[in-house]
Chains A and B, each alone.
Chain A
Amino acid sequence: EAGVVQSPRYKIIEKKQPVAFWCNPISGHNTLYWYRQNLGQGPELLIRYENEEAVDDSQLPKDRFSAERLKGVDSTLKIQPAELGDSAVYLCASRDRGRDTGELFFGEGSRLTVL
């Protein structure tokens, strides 16, 4: 079974530039999460999708961040314009809501460096 796939793995941009991250969850997983992980910290939720619906985006900085999950499968997270403080690893995770398990399957993350 293929795991959660994210791209790009690394991205270096200058501040005020836009950036986008892509995530392909495990096939059949209804729930998709975007987390941000700052250096030396735990993952912090940005947004959670149930199928194509964003059901928890309270921590998403909506002035510069946007996300979409068209057709309830792949998802894209965009930052425009990027700021220095956005440097972090952006983790995508998915879960099979139909199974009685809370396990999240994470991708390898997209490491963003804003100069």
Chain B
Amino acid sequence: GENVEQHPSTLSVQEGDSAVIKCTYSDSASNYFPWYKQELGKRPQLIIDIRSNVGEKKDQRIAVTLNKTAKHFSLHITETQPEDSAVYFCAATPNSGYSTLTFGKGTMLLVSP
């Protein structure tokens, strides 16, 4: 099955700095890569996703890049704000149709004012 590795496990930045979280996956057939944000005690929520036919996608201060050859994808957050503090999970599907997501172990992002 699919295996998703996520790094770092914790990331501390100053407000206004950029943050980068990286994930690798094992199954070359995976073709959908979402990122979820989970605030403390809350439910995970989708913040951005990318499909394998696209190399980069942006949405305001967040962006995701995908390198299918190397089987890794990354989340980039620019101009970080304290409200960006949360746990971020990457995920990948082992096959087409978004059937079952395999999640990474998460990255706790702390943004200090």
Contacts and interface: CB of A to CB of B under 8 A. Distances in A.
Do A and B share a complex?
Answer: yes
Main secondary structure of the interface of A (DSSP, over half): loop
Given A102-B32, A104-B46, A106-B43, A44 B103 contact: yes
A106 B100 contact: no
Contacts of B46: 103-104
B61 interface: no
Contact of A43 (B32, B99, B103): B103
A102 B103 contact: no
Nearest to A92: B43
Nearest to B42: A108
Contact of A42 (B43, B49, B106): B106
A1 to B, nearest CB: 14
Contacts of A106: 43-45
Interface in A10-68: 33, 40-45, 48, 55-56
B106 to A, nearest CB: 5
Given A41-B105, A42-B89, A42-B106, A102 B43 contact: no
Interface of A: 4, 33, 40-45, 48, 55-56, 91, 95, 101-104, 106-109
23 contacts: A4-B43, A33-B100, A40-B105, A40-B106, A42-B89, A42-B91, A42-B105, A42-B106, A43-B44, A43-B103, A45-B100, A45-B102, A55-B99, A56-B100, A91-B43, A95-B98, A101-B98, A102-B32, A103-B34, A104-B101, A106-B43, A107-B43, A108-B42
